[in-house]
Each structure stands twice: as C-alpha cells, then as structure tokens.
C-alpha cells in the first residue's frame, strides 16, 4: 500500500499538521523535528512529490507570479508570455492576484515562499518604496517586476512617462487644448503616476496648463453620474481624454455614448496599453501601445538567468529593462473642430 502523510506522521510521532508544515514550510519547523520527519519519509519510502522534493532540498522548478488581476488583458498577455517560455523550459507557475491590496500582497508572497518558489515575477502598487520588496531583498529571494517603472529594482517595463508624453503630444498635434487625464487611484499605481507626469510635461511644453488626474473607480463597469456630468457639461469641458489604460478608455466610451456624445466628433479618446481588442471597437481605439507579451517574456528570461546563475549571458548591465512603446492612431481621435479653436487653453478641472 502506498504510504500517506498520515503514515509518515504516525511513524515520526508527530501530528499530520506538523508533518505538513515540515513538507510545505520546512523553515518554520524545529531542525530536530524536521530531521525526524525526513527519516520517516525515507523509512516509509514516501512517494516523492514536488513538495517532498522541496523537503530534500532539491530544486522545485516552481516560479511564483503575483499580478493585481487577470481581468485586465494587459496582465493576461504578460502571463501568456511567461507561461509559454516557462513551460518549454520545464518550470511550473503558481499564480496569485492581489487587487493592489497590501494585505493580499503580503499573503501572496508568504504563501509562495512557503511553497519554496525559486523566484517571483510580480507587479506591485509602488515598486520604489515597497516594504515587501525590501524584505525579499534581505531574504535573497530573486524576483523581477513587470510594468513597474523603477530604477531601484529588477524590472521590465516601458518608459511610462515618455510614452504618455508622446501620446498627449499626438492629441495636441490634432489641435486639442483642453485635455484631461482619467486614471484609477494614483496611490495604487506607480505607472499611473508616471503617466500623469508625462501628460503634464506634454501640456506644459505646449504652453497649456495641465489638470490633476481625474481619479475614478478602476473596478467599475460604468462611469458614475457625477464623473460623466463633469466630462460632458459646461463650455470648458475637455475636448480630449487621455485614459491611463485601455479598459478605462472603453468604459469612458460607453459612458459618453450613453450621454449622446459622438466619438471622436464630440470627444477624442486616447487609451494606454495597446490591447488588441481595442481595434475591434467602433471606432477603433487609439492607444499608447506597450509590448505586454514581450514584457512577460523578458521578465521570465531575466528571472531565469538570475535563478540559474547565467545572468551575464544576457549581456545586461542594468537592473532595469525598458522596452519601446508605440502609438496606435485609432479612429477615436479627430482634429479639433473650428468651433472649439478659440476655447480656453487649459484642461477642465
């Protein structure tokens, strides 16, 4: 009969919970207890499982992936890039999501460490000042960030500030002067903060006054009536909106249609991410494009090189890798109409 964990517990003289901890989180178990459990596993010829191999100190070939959500196709595209390469090289992925919640981020990291992952690929709210990343640095657990735009940590991203700057300049080139940026909580995304800096830089360079980002509920499927009224009412309403991601841009487009505004005749829309589904919309969504799948692939390659000690073969000297962005000139942007050319040169606040 194949021995079970219950048999191991009886043989070692400990509870099943203790044996389970010895298998799943050996660093939390007294060394003497751990040694007895190992002896029982050997004596009973307990079938090696991935967790059993962890106990013997063998490589797990398990990589943790921590993402804010997989509801946003940006992260799904990154995950696809990681999984394709990881599977081909004999690694397994363990995925957890956080919704940018600090407690969930800590739980995810602790859970993955208990499973003895060899490294982490993750996206966090604020990479530069994140205490959990400081803990990983002290513990020596290797990781690579995706999309977090930082020079302090191992990361793969686009230059979010420059990308937003280029996108807003495109709106300005179409004659728009009253341009407003919409985003989720800036506190929850260092990328959104960088994108707002790029928006502000483009506005100022054109002699325009930037407005604070209009922060909306990122998880909502619809704009609130107050936000919709802010965007559509008054003589100084914006003529163009720069949305911090494509999903938000899609929500905005639906809201504007319900308010009987025509896109792009009444309002131009620019997204950020370059999601393929944006091109299926009517009209197709203009967007600042990030190479999301390639970001996932590059993050995997850099993490694997660190895990296997072959980082020098990448020929990289920097912790960070910045991939190029591009602009997709979709039909949601139109030149400003003559009737708006003499409008005040500032964004609606």
Q: Report the distance separating Cα 240 and Cα 180, nearest Å.
A: 7
For the record, the structure tokens of 193 come out as 């903060």
* pLDDT surpassing 90 at residue 198: yes
* pLDDT surpassing 80 at residue 209: yes
* pLDDT surpassing 50 at residue 306: yes
| pLDDT value of position 49 | 53
Q: How confident is the model at residue 313 (pLDDT cuts 50, 70, 90)?
A: low
Q: What is the CATH number of domain 5-55?
A: 1.10.260.40
| pLDDT value of position 213 | 97
For the record, the structure tokens of 5 come out as 């964990």
Of the candidates 336, 331, 338, the one whose C-alpha atom is nearest the C-alpha of residue 238 is 336
For the record, the structure tokens of 69 come out as 């959500």
| pLDDT value of position 13 | 93
* pLDDT surpassing 50 at residue 174: yes
Helix ranges restricted to H, the chain: 5-12, 16-24, 31-44, 50-55, 73-88, 102-114, 131-139, 160-173, 190-205, 225-232, 246-258, 292-308
Q: How confident is the model at residue 224 (pLDDT cuts 50, 70, 90)?
A: very high
Contact between 122 and 63 (Cβ < 8 Å): no
For the record, the structure tokens of 303 come out as 């993490």
* pLDDT surpassing 90 at residue 149: no
Q: 62-157+292-323 with 160-291+328-340: one CATH topology?
A: yes
Q: Report the distance separating Cα 262 and Cα 272, nearest Å.
A: 21
More confident residue, 255 or 313: 255
Q: Report the distance separating Cα 201 and Cα 241, nearest Å.
A: 16
The CATH-assigned architecture of domain 160-291+328-340 is 3-Layer(aba) Sandwich (3.40)
Q: Report the distance separating Cα 240 and Cα 217, nearest Å.
A: 20
This prediction has a pTM of 0.80
Q: Where are the domains of the chain?
A: 5-55, 62-157+292-323, 160-291+328-340
| pLDDT value of position 130 | 86
* pLDDT surpassing 80 at residue 267: yes
| pLDDT value of position 341 | 45
Pairing of strands 286-289, 326-328: antiparallel
CB-hemisphere CA count at 13 Å for 99? 6
* pLDDT surpassing 90 at residue 328: yes
Q: Report the distance separating Cα 112 and Cα 110, nearest Å.
A: 6
Residue 99 CB coordination number (10 Å): 13
| pLDDT value of position 3 | 81
| pLDDT value of position 348 | 44
Contact between 200 and 212 (Cβ < 8 Å): no
Q: What's CA 91's distance to the chain center, in Å?
A: 21
* pLDDT surpassing 90 at residue 87: yes
Percent of the chain, pLDDT > 70?
Answer: 90
pLDDT tens digits, one per residue of 274-286: 999 999 999 999 9
Of 127-136, 162-171, 303-312, the range with the lowest mean pLDDT is 303-312
CATH assignment of 62-157+292-323, among 3.90.1150.10, 3.40.50.280, 3.30.70.20, 3.40.50.2300: 3.40.50.2300
* pLDDT surpassing 60 at residue 343: no
């Amino acid at each position: 009969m194949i021995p079970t964990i219950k048999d191991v517990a009886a043989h070692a003289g400990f509870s099943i919970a203790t044996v389970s901890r010895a298998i799943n989180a050996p660093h939390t178990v007294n060394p003497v207890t751990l040694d007895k459990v190992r002896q029982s596993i050997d004596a009973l010829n307990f079938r090696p499982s991935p967790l059993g191999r962890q106990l013997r100190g063998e490589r797990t070939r398990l990589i943790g992936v921590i993402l804010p959500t997989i509801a946003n196709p940006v992260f799904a595209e990154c995950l696809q890039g990681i999984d394709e390469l990881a599977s081909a090289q004999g690694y397994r992925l363990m995925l957890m999501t956080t919704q940018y919640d600090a407690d969930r981020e800590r739980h995810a990291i602790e859970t993955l460490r208990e499973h003895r992952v060899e490294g982490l690929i993750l996206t966090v709210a604020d990479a530069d000042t994140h205490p959990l990343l400081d803990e990983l640095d002290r513990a020596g657990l290797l990781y690579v960030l995706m999309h977090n735009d930082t020079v302090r940590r191992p990361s793969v991203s686009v230059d979010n500030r420059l990308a937003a700057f280029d996108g807003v300049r495109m709106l300005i080139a179409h004659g728009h002067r009253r341009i407003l940026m919409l985003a989720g909580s800036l506190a929850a995304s260092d990328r959104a903060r960088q994108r707002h800096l790029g928006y502000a830089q483009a506005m100022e360079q054109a002699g325009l006054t930037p407005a604070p980002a209009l922060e909306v509920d990122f998880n909502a499927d619809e704009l609130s009536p107050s936000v919709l009224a802010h965007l559509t009412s008054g003589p100084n309403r914006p003529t163009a909106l720069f949305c911090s991601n494509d999903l938000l841009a899609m929500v905005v487009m639906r809201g504007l249609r319900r308010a009987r505004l025509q896109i792009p005749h009444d309002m131009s829309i620019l997204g950020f991410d370059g999601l393929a589904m944006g091109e299926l919309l009517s009209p197709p969504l203009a967007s600042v494009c990030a190479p999301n799948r390639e970001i996932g692939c590059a993050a995997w390659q850099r993490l694997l090189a660190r895990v296997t000690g072959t980082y020098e073969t990448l020929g990289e000297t920097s912790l960070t890798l910045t991939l190029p962005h591009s602009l997709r000139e979709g039909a949601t942007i139109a030149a400003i109409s003559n009737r708006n050319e003499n409008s005040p040169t500032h964004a609606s606040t």
